[in-house]
Structure 1
Amino acid sequence: MNRLGIKEIEAIIPHRHPFLLVDYIEDFEPGVFATGYKCVTFREDFFAGHFPQMPVMPGVLIIEALAQVGAVAILSKEENKGKIALFGGIDKCRFKGQVQPGDKLKLETRIIKEKGPVGVGEAIASVDGKMVAKAEVTFMIVA
């Protein structure tokens, strides 16, 4: 297993607090897949307004977290080191559950297509083994 802590993640992708949505990578294979986690706490900035009476992690941020895990997979390839992966699209997106404070969000992204600087990742987010979101995320590698 190839575990990465926050400093190693920051060395691969450009995101920083409060927009870095991955706490650690449990395992990855450059250009193939990455599995990471976000430990969701009540102190997340987005909970102040989404929703104070019933805090729920916004779905778009779950997809962003999945994309960041995918970026670790694709940007850890030797030829992509030092580059940035931009969002190119989201397809087949479905939300199946809520993510709330105290949840440990598992983020799995597998690269399923790559052609030049464009690629697609199949992404699944889950809590306690139950899928909460899935999507295909398209990315573009830029210098």
Structure 2
Amino acid sequence: MKLDIEDIRGLLPQRYPMLLVDRIVNVDLDANTIDGYKNVTANEEFFNGHFPEHPVMPGVLIIEAMAQAAGLLGFTMGKKQPGDNSVYYFAGADQVRFRQPVVPGDRLDLHAEFIAEKRGIWKFSCQGSVDGKIVSSAVITCAKKEI
């Protein structure tokens, strides 16, 4: 299964400038994994202040991109339908690691794998990579809530 930006907008509540997943290239419901990406351009708003002379994507936004990919996996696993009023709130990140900066021109590849769910709390193992090298990883916790 693949998701384009319109599919993503139908599942996630985030919009510009906080929508940080451009495309999902694979959802494997047998393995409970998802793969997608964020194209990082020089025009990103956050580069105006982080840092103007040496632009680096803020780590917190890399975590947010991984969490959005995890949320998309959770929604596809839960078979969210149009009009479903549920949302995944970011609830925590453990074992967070950053290995190298993400800069303009990079394609931040996102991977999330479902770990467990208990009483509406979902855990995912997530990774971000650029050119096949892992640049970030975390265990992301999301809480599914009806809005």
TM-score w.r.t. length of structure 2: 0.92
Residue matched to 2:94: 91
Report the Cα distance in structure 1 between the residues aligned to 2:56 and 2:11, rounded to whole angstroms. Answer: 28
TM-score w.r.t. length of structure 1: 0.95
Report the Cα distance in structure 2 between the residues aligned to 1:104 and 1:4, rounded to whole angstroms. Answer: 17
Shift of 1:34: 1.2
Aligned to 2:53, what secondary structure does the other structure show? coil
Question: Residue 4 of structure 1 aligns to which amino acid in structure 2?
Answer: L
Shift of 1:139: 0.6
Q: Find out whether 1:135 has 2:138 as its counterpart.
A: yes
Residue matched to 1:120: 123
Question: Residue 127 of structure 2 aligns to which amino acid in structure 1?
Answer: I
Is the 1:29–1:73 Cα contact (8 Å) retained in structure 2?
Answer: no
Aligned to 1:73, what secondary structure does the other structure show? helix
Is the 2:12–2:72 Cα contact (8 Å) retained in structure 1?
Answer: yes
Report the Cα distance in structure 1 between the residues aligned to 2:103 and 2:116, rounded to whole angstroms. Answer: 32
Residue matched to 2:107: 104
Aligned to 1:76, what secondary structure does the other structure show? helix
Is the 1:42–1:102 Cα contact (8 Å) retained in structure 2?
Answer: yes
Shift of 1:124: 0.4
Between stretches 23-32 and 39-48, larger displacement belongs to 23-32
Report the Cα distance in structure 1 between the residues aligned to 2:73 and 2:95, rounded to whole angstroms. Answer: 21
Correspondences of 1:1-143 after superposition (within 5 Å): 2-30=1-29, 32-78=32-78, 80-81=80-81, 82=84, 83-143=86-146
Report the Cα distance in structure 1 between the residues aligned to 2:110 and 2:5, rounded to whole angstroms. Answer: 15
Give the unaligned 5+ runs of structure 1. none
In the TM superposition, what whole-angstrom CA distance separates every residue of 1:82-127 from its partner, at most 9, and x where no partner exists? Answer: 2100011110001000000000110001011111200100000000
